[in-house]
A and B are shown apart, each in its own frame.
Chain A
Amino acid sequence: MRIVVLIKQVPETKSVKMDEETGTVIREGVESIVNPLDLYAIEAAISLKDQYGGETVAVSMGPPKADICIKEALSMGIDKGVLVSDRAFAGSDTWATSYILGETIKLLGDVDMIICGERATDGDTGQVGPEVAAHLSLPVASYINAIESFNNNSVSLSRQVEQGDEMLDVALPCLLTVVKEVATPRLPTLDGKIRAKAADIQLITADMLKLNPDYIGLKGSPTRVAKIFRPKVTRECELLFAKDDATIHAGVDKLYAFLDSKEAL
């Protein structure tokens, strides 16, 4: 069995700064990390391998420095890393990204299962998983919160939906997107780190894939960001300071009157 995990490198969101003048995101000096939700996908793949054997491969599309995040996956226990990187890929939206990732998986060949995170914390669309599945005409099972059992031609899963959990049997090959409940990501081990450091990461560039040049990068992206701005979040807040018994009671009286005036009692 061969499992591919798709992982994305994202900026550490807490440290994201905004350029107030231009309204754009300042990327310089921002630390890059493995998309936190992809750690669950990595864990799901490694524990499947632990139980049933096989090979796990982490694939990431991004700038050359995305190899750091592939190394992290390797240090957790992923067997092999693949970096998909080319200047021609810059500006790809989810359609173009999924096309490139889909073609990469075709090139790798012999894949039984692809596992994605629920969404990336930067672009945050959650679309790449289902779109890769569509490009490869594979069944997609999204929002997987438990992988129950596995055999040569199918996998039993639990899928989180609004009303509860759906129990599914999915034929292989297939693509899963997983949510946090699926597993608890393990920490990299010292051995793993040493192995990761020494490991070769396979580099795949545009000319190694059979790509239609009109389908990649900004040009190949059906969606276009027309404008970026900072959300404005201001209301006129009436502040009541509660310092002692008297001000607490006066404040609560005002809250009560507010609730009453909004028919919220």
Chain B
Amino acid sequence: MNNAKLWILAEQFEGEILKVSYELLGRAKDLSKKKNCQVAAVIFGANLGDAELQKLIDRGADFVLAIEAPELKHFDNEAYSRCMLGMIDKYEPEIIIAAATSTGRTLMPYVAMTAHTGLTADCTVLDIDEEGKLLQTRPAIGGNIMATIRTQGFMPQMATVRPHSSKPAAPVEGRVGEIVRVDGNDFDLSSNIKRKELVLSSEELQLQEADKVVIVGRGIKRAENIKLIRELCDLLGAALGATRDVVDRGWLSYPHQVGLSGKTINPKLCVSIGVSGAIQQLAGMQTAENIIAINKDPEAQIFKVADIGMVGDLFEIVPVLIAKLKNGESL
């Protein structure tokens, strides 16, 4: 563990490792090479299986620090933070990266404050400078600027990154690493918060998991017209996203919102329809691999980030595209 100067906070749900952990390992791989150090994945849970933990090793962890107790099965800030602070004291990592999830965004600031060190939120780019220090770049002021931030004179350097802002590391079968199991009961696990139950959301779409996403903007004009876009989604096998203006009007629900105050997506294909391309909206989708835009205004900002754009009335274009997709090669 001594050369594992770079830690990532892996997350699990019901004993299964969440994909966001692999995204962090993807980033860690790059950084550890530059820093010439090893990578440890820290994970909390109860009775985590060896096979499951091995997945973290396959994807780039040299060590897995599994902190386990029944009380640690679900996120509990007080219990998790005491364990984390204990581990930081013991192993003195230089860098800790977590995902900006409901867990990461709560635990990381709590730990950073107590450990008296800096934390940079929502980084989109992480790098290592000549001295082996972490360079953390993040959007701020509504996505209008990017700031590169350093944590100077304090350790560890801590950062969160948005889920889906990078690709998950690919597994390498048979990669070798060490699983270090820590008994959570070595720490005070008492808590002032009692979790009674989890009501699973019935959210039909997994926007952030989708390979393809169609984003609809205010150009769709009214709620009834969304069915046109749904038909396109079905044909493409795409999930449906929306701009804030569409959500604010109640045409689609908040879980559909993409952007600074909604979800960040990183799909293979993003099709934007009737979307102007405000900077806060682009912040949620501009890293998509391929971007298509349809807008009647040739000056629309969305065309600046698109690979291919069609200037014209969406109500004329989309039905033709739908027909073409239905007929496939035969047209």
Residues of A within 8 A of B (CB): 11, 13, 16, 18, 23, 25, 93-95, 98, 121-131, 133-135, 139-143, 158-171, 174, 180-181, 221-231, 233-243, 247-249, 251-256, 258-259, 262, 264-265
Beta-carbon contact of B320 and A238 below 8 Å: no
What is the CB-to-nearest-CB distance from A153 to chain B, in angstroms, rounded to a whole number? 10
Nearest Cβ in chain A — how far from B125, in angstroms?
11
- A121, A233, A248: which contacts B142 (Cβ < 8 A)? A121
A163 adjacent to B113 (CB under 8 Å): no
Interface residues of B: mostly helix, strand, loop or mixed? mixed
CA A163 to CA B328, docked complex, whole Å: 37
- Pick the contact of B201: A143, A165, A223 (CB < 8 A): A165
Residues of A within 8 A of B169 (CB): none
Contacting residues, chain A, for B149 (C-beta < 8 A): 223-226
> Is the beta-carbon distance between B307 and A238 smaller than 8 angstroms?
yes
Closest to A227 in B: B148
Mark contacts of B120-144 with chain A using CB atoms, 8 A cut-off: 1 yes-contact digit, 0 otherwise. 1110000000000001000111111
Check if B291 is an interface residue, CB within 8 A of chain A. yes
Residues of A within 8 A of B193 (CB): 139, 141, 168-171
For this complex, 20 residue pairs linking A to B, each with C-beta atoms less than 8 Å apart, are: A95-B116, A95-B118, A123-B140, A128-B109, A134-B109, A134-B113, A143-B106, A170-B192, A181-B254, A221-B118, A222-B152, A223-B120, A223-B150, A223-B151, A224-B152, A226-B149, A235-B304, A241-B312, A253-B324, A254-B308
Pair A233/B282 contact, Cβ less than 8 Å = yes
Is A122 a contact partner of B140 (Cβ separation < 8 A)? yes
Q: How far is the CB of B304 from chain A (nearest CB, A)?
A: 5
In whole Å, how far is A109's beta carbon from the nearest beta carbon of chain B?
Answer: 20
- What CA separation (Å) do A264 and B269 show in the bound complex? 7
B112 at the interface (CB under 8 A from A): yes
- Interface size, B (range): 35 or more
Is residue B145 contacting chain A, with contact meaning CB distance below 8 A?
Answer: yes
Complexed CA–CA distance, A122 and B148 (Å):
15
**Does B166 reach chain A (CB closer than 8 Å)?**
no
Interface contact B304-A237, CB-CB below 8 Å: yes
Query: Which residues of A lie under 8 Å from residue B291 when comparing CB positions?
Result: 235
Check if B113 sits within 8 Å of A98, measured CB to CB.
Answer: yes
